[in-house]
Amino acid sequence: MKLNRLAQYALPLITALAAGGANADKVRVAVIDPSSGPFAAVAANWYKSMLMQVDAVNAQKLAGENTIELVAFDNKGSAQESQILLRTVIDQGFRYVIQGGSSAIGAVLMDAVNKHNERNQGKEILLLNHSNADPELTNAKCSFWHFRFAPNSDMATEALTTEMAKNPAIKKVYIVSQNYPFGQAVSRSTREYLKRKRADIEIVGDDFHPIGQVKDFSPYIAKIKASGADTVTSGNWGPDLTLLLKAASDADLKVSFYTYFANTYGVPLALSPASAGKLKNIASFSPNNAGFNGKEFVEGFKGKYKEDFILLPLYNTIAMFAEGLKRAKTIDPVKVAYAMEGIKMKTFSGEMEMRAADHQMQAPLFITSWAKVDGKSVRYDQNDTGYGWKVEQRIEPYVASQPTSCQMARPPR
């Protein structure tokens, strides 16, 4: 009993001393993404991408004297599960959470983190969003406690529709989306932007299907064919895109595809050589872009995990977080959040900047096309298919950048 009492007073003191005195801390970060269910394989690749950079950060002291440790939690792709996990990690003393597997889950976590931080000053949680793309998260729902390291879907759609508008062969466009906030955002902005850029393009179809549920996409393909579309654009990712592309090539659907995630894990296995030149994908980087400076990282990743490094935002999340820790000279989330605002630093695609107004990453985007490895414009393939992503167009951040309606409430520094 007495010992207990002693511990009760002594512990906070010791922790306070430790936090104030030393600046070599181990920063534990909870990663809440699916490691089971339909998107498990995709999410495993995300995790490895972050781990690779965490190792580099710790070895090269990129976070100052601090080291970063990732701890994975399986949210099974469910918002409810994620909320319970958030509670768990807060109880375990985590102050940083990374998530990015779904905008719907991201919104739920943001809401919970906002409430927690309001009620628990001094114990704030910071949410690092690696890939949730719903624009709302940095507009109407924006929060000081949330940082997005990937382009939001409006930025990607802005870039993709600009590319589509340039192609005079496109007359009839069909939109296929997963029915959740990101898919709905893609559908809405594609219609809106195409109307602005090429009013003559007709939208002949706009389909929503449940995320991760459809096995057989051939009915959708038959419908696309019946609509007379010459171009299909889709925000689908993971198996939903793999199966869509597979069904299209089975039925000999002769259209051009414009996608957001055709470079994601496993999808290229479904691409037939016939897709070469007919498939354009918007991405945050391609190892084939001119002056690419991430050779070591990409090849090291392939050597270590026998997989391709695909998504730059995962690298960016860790790289910028480490920079924030270094600049803040503390591991207090409030200070680190302020330090991350406005950071400009180099990444594999050029320069990236964390816009302070809405915590939305600004970085170049690339229109890429599926092409055979030729040693010059396509040096790296994907999934050992002999095909890779050729850079068609580099889009500077100011082109894709979107105004924000974010009105952020900030804590005292």
Partner 1 sequence: MEFVSIAILNGVAYGLLLFLLSAGLTLTFSMMGVLNFAHASFYMFGAYFAYAISSTIGFWPALVLSPLLVAVVGAGVEKFGLRSLHKHGHISELLLTYGLTYIMAEVVQMVWGRAPVPYAMPTQLQGSLFRIFTTTFPIFRAFMMLIAVLMLLGTYLVLTRTRVGLIIQAALTHPEMVESLGHNVPRIFMVVFGFGCGLAGLAGVLGGLAFATEPAMAHMVGGIIFVVVVIGGLGSLRGALLSSVMMGLIQSFAVAIDYSIADLLRVLHLDYIAAPSGIALLDITVSQLAPVLPYLFLVVILIARPRGLFGTRDT
Which of the ranges 89-97, 133-141, 210-218, 371-379 carries the binding residues for partner 1, by CB under 8 A? 210-218
Which of the ranges 11-19, 164-172, 220-228, 337-345 carries the binding residues for partner 1, by CB under 8 A? 220-228
Q: What is d(CA 280, CA 298) in angstroms, rounded to the nearest whole number?
A: 22
Residue 321's contacts (CB-CB under 8 Å, 6 or more residues apart) are 29, 63, 68, 96, 128, 336, 340
Does 226 bind partner 1 (CB under 8 A)? Our answer is: yes
Given the complex with partner 1, which of 146 and 246 has the nearer CB atom?
A: 246
Residue 336's contacts (CB-CB under 8 Å, 6 or more residues apart) are 126, 321, 324, 325, 328, 330
Closest CA to 389 of 365, 357, 413: 365
Given the complex with partner 1, which of 176 and 339 has the nearer CB atom?
A: 176
Q: Which amino acid is at 3?
A: L
Binding residues for partner 1 restricted to 242-271, rule: CB under 8 A: 242-243, 246, 250-254, 265-266, 269-270
Find the binder of partner 1 among 223, 329, 335, 379 (CB under 8 A): 223
Q: What is d(CA 274, CA 326) in angstroms, rounded to the nearest whole number?
A: 48
Does 214 bind partner 1 (CB under 8 A)? Our answer is: yes
Find the binder of partner 1 among 239, 294, 324, 333 (CB under 8 A): 239
Tokens 């990743």 belong to 301
Give least dist CB 96 to partner 1, A: 25
Does 198 bind partner 1 (CB under 8 A)? Our answer is: no
Give least dist CB 195 to partner 1, A: 20
Does 41 bind partner 1 (CB under 8 A)? Our answer is: yes
Dihedral of alpha carbons 245, 181, 404, 238, sign: negative
Binding-site residue total for partner 1 (CB under 8 A)?
Answer: 40
Does 179 bind partner 1 (CB under 8 A)? Our answer is: yes
Find the binder of partner 1 among 78, 83, 162, 218 (CB under 8 A): 218
Does 148 bind partner 1 (CB under 8 A)? Our answer is: no
Which of the ranges 9-17, 188-196, 239-247, 370-378 carries the binding residues for partner 1, by CB under 8 A? 239-247
Closest CA to 97 of 145, 35, 166: 145
Which tokens hold the place of 332? 């207090």
Does 230 bind partner 1 (CB under 8 A)? Our answer is: no
Does 210 bind partner 1 (CB under 8 A)? Our answer is: yes
Given the complex with partner 1, which of 41 and 399 has the nearer CB atom?
A: 41
Residue 35's contacts (CB-CB under 8 Å, 6 or more residues apart) are 43, 44, 47, 72, 74
Q: What is d(CA 146, CA 149) in angstroms, rounded to the nearest whole number?
A: 10
Contacts by residues 298-307 (CB-CB < 8 Å, ≥ 24 positions apart): 298/348, 298/380, 300/52, 301/48, 301/49, 301/52, 304/52, 305/48, 305/52, 307/45, 307/48, 307/265
Q: Are 409 and 144 in contact (CB under 8 A)?
A: yes
Give least dist CB 216 to partner 1, A: 5
Given the complex with partner 1, which of 6 and 274 has the nearer CB atom?
A: 274
Does 274 bind partner 1 (CB under 8 A)? Our answer is: no
Closest CA to 20 of 347, 332, 377: 332
Backbone angles phi, psi at 123, to 5 degrees: -130, 35
Give least dist CB 39 to partner 1, A: 8
Give least dist CB 237 to partner 1, A: 14
Binding positions for partner 1, rule: CB under 8 A: 35-41, 44-45, 179, 207-210, 212-216, 218-220, 222-223, 225-226, 239, 242-243, 246, 250-254, 265-266, 269-270, 307
